[in-house]
Amino acid sequence: MVDSQLAQFLHEKYALTDLKEKAATADSTVYFATNTWGNSTAEVELFNELIEGDQATAITQLASGLRWLDEPAVVSLRDCGVTEDGTLYVVRDEAKGNTLRSIIEGRVKWGTPFSDSEAHSLLAPVARAIDHYNNADHAELLARSIDVDHLLVQHHNPSAPVMLALVGPTPDATSTPAKNRRAFAEIVSQLTTKPVDEELLESTESASAYLEKLAFPHKAQPEAEADDATVQWSMPAQPVEEQPERPKQHFPDTSPGFPPVEPHYQQPYEYPGYAQPEFFEPQPQKKSKALTWLLVFMILLLLGGIGAGGWWLWDNQGEGWNAQEQEMADTFPRIISEKSGQRGWLNMKCESQTPEDGQKARIRCSDKDLGVSIIDYGDEQTRDGLLPAGDTEVIGNEKCSARAYKMEDVTPPAYRIAPEGEDSQYLLVVNGAEAESKRMYLNLCEKSRG
């Protein structure tokens, strides 16, 4: 049963209510939840084993970077965390669809297992997702998912015909990229009823490469990329003997040996004695009204396109930042746009602002619902002197982290984000109705626009 504290948290953060038990695993219970308006559903998993210490801290840091793990073939992870009593929870989109096992059993029953190319069509997005998680050092999040009972078939999703379900952290499940690739190869084996190609699995370093080479073992390499340049010789092309043209036949019952039947041109019938008068002048054809309106419409459409393009260019061309603002834009390229007036984080317009006392530079990116201000205080000591005392929340990962402070008695909600390390002279202030959840998506780590 969901305790009242977690139920209140899910309601405040995601507007989720009416949690009902959906399934149970060996170490957790999965609940089905809907939002207040009944137009959105989610899956909430609560684990039996309690966690604490470094493991709880790692879960909190993971939650801040879930957005960068999104893949079409993986059910979306919305959040994860640890309650005050040490219960690990995971919130993700509801997973729907038939299990891959049921599809495999149906094909095997009729004696028509999947071919290698069919397996490639079904599982290529899954292979890319596994490689993404492996490369992001989060292979453990798929420890339970690469299984025929947790791969769900999506009949109306061409971009991901099969989706990985039951994704997320667990108290004790571990995995490695090699284990994930092995589990994926066994899935392919069950689809095709062929044994795992051990030699190919060992020689490839990704699930995608294994699936690609299994399905297309003789795929031709471009000449420029071929490892061994070989001279190929082939017989010269032989001249094709011209065949005499068959006579034209205009009736189906004539023999091909008969001479062709040529149609004879016949003058149209005219009344005897009729002739056009000498002063006769042909009447000019009237232009079609439909064609005229079509031309008018096309001209208006062209003018509208030119106007829209001009407006977009005017609205997005931007102006260069000054030196200190440019330094901030280079420090947070995934938040601040390349130029003033262009679109930055979450497609919000970024503009220069006049610095206040003690500030070196200030940039604001915002829309009508949400905004973030990036402020340069020159050094960490000046910035920290403005931060409140008390509990802080640490967000980020091993590469970079920041301290988050909720601003009390502020409507709409607002949060101060204080980066640590090399970026400790800066302060970010996120405010808006969704500030609490959106602040988790601030990418403070990436230093390239990508």
Considering only 109-113, 127-131, 299-303, 315-319, which range has the smallest mean pLDDT? 315-319
Query: Residue 420: is its pLDDT beyond 80?
Result: yes
Compare 35 and 76 and report the one with higher pLDDT: 76
- How much is the average pLDDT of 50-61? 88
Confidence band, pLDDT 50/70/90 cuts, at residue 267: low
- How much is the average pLDDT of 293-320? 68
Confidence band, pLDDT 50/70/90 cuts, at residue 238: low
pLDDT at 25: 85
pLDDT at 282: 55
Confidence band, pLDDT 50/70/90 cuts, at residue 52: confident
Compare 44 and 410 and report the one with higher pLDDT: 44
pLDDT at 229: 43
Domains, the chain, in order of start with CATH, read: 1-218 (1.10.510.10), 323-441 (no CATH)
Alpha-carbon dihedral angle through residues 242, 248, 254, 257, given to the nearest 10 degrees: -40
- How much is the average pLDDT of 216-220? 74
Residue from 366, 376, 373 nearest 325 by CA: 376
pLDDT at 227: 47
Backbone dihedral angles phi then psi of residue 158, each to the nearest 5 degrees: -60, -25
Considering only 62-66, 75-79, 327-331, which range has the smallest mean pLDDT? 62-66
pLDDT at 297: 75
Backbone dihedral angles phi then psi of residue 92, each to the nearest 5 degrees: -145, 165
Give residue-wise pLDDT tens across range 309-333: 555 554 556 789 999 999 999 999 9
pLDDT at 234: 47
In terms of phi and psi (left: phi > 0; alpha: psi -120 to 50; beta: otherwise), the region of 274 is beta
Are the C-beta atoms of 375 and 426 separated by less than 8 Å?
yes
Three-state SS string over the chain comes to CCCHHHHHHHHHHHCEEEEEEEEECCCEEEEEEEECCCCCEEEEEEEEEECCCHHHHHHHHHHCCHHHHCCCCECCEEEEEECCCCEEEEEEECCCCEEHHHHHHHHHHCCCCCCHHHHHHHHHHHHHHHHHHHHCCCHHHHCCCCCCCCEEECCCCCCCCEEECCCCCCCCCCCCHHHHHHHHHHHHHHHHCCCCCHHHHHHCCCHHHHHHHHHCCCCCCCHHHCCCCCCCCCCCCCCCCCCCCCCCCCCCCCCCCCCCCCCCCCCCCCCCCCCCCCCCCCCCCCCCHHHHHHHHHHHHHHHHHHHHHHHHHHHHCCECCCHHHHHHHHHCCCCCCCCECCECHHHCEEEEECCCCCCCEEEEEECCCEEEEEEECCCHHHHHCCCCCCCCEEEECCCCEEEEEECCCCCCCEEEEEECHHHCCEEEEEEECCHHHHHHHCCCCCCCCC
Query: Residue 393: is its pLDDT beyond 60?
Result: yes
pLDDT at 228: 46
Q: Read off the amino acid at residue 447.
A: K
Looking at every residue in the chain, the average pLDDT score rounds to 82
Compare 40 and 230 and report the one with higher pLDDT: 40
Considering only 10-14, 227-231, 234-238, 291-295, which range has the smallest mean pLDDT? 227-231
Compare 132 and 243 and report the one with higher pLDDT: 132
Residue with tokens 């948290």: 9
Q: Read off the amino acid at residue 426.
A: Y
Alpha-carbon dihedral angle through residues 298, 302, 304, 306, given to the nearest 10 degrees: 180
Beta bridge partners of 237: none
Query: Residue 251: is its pLDDT beyond 60?
Result: no
- How much is the average pLDDT of 149-167? 91
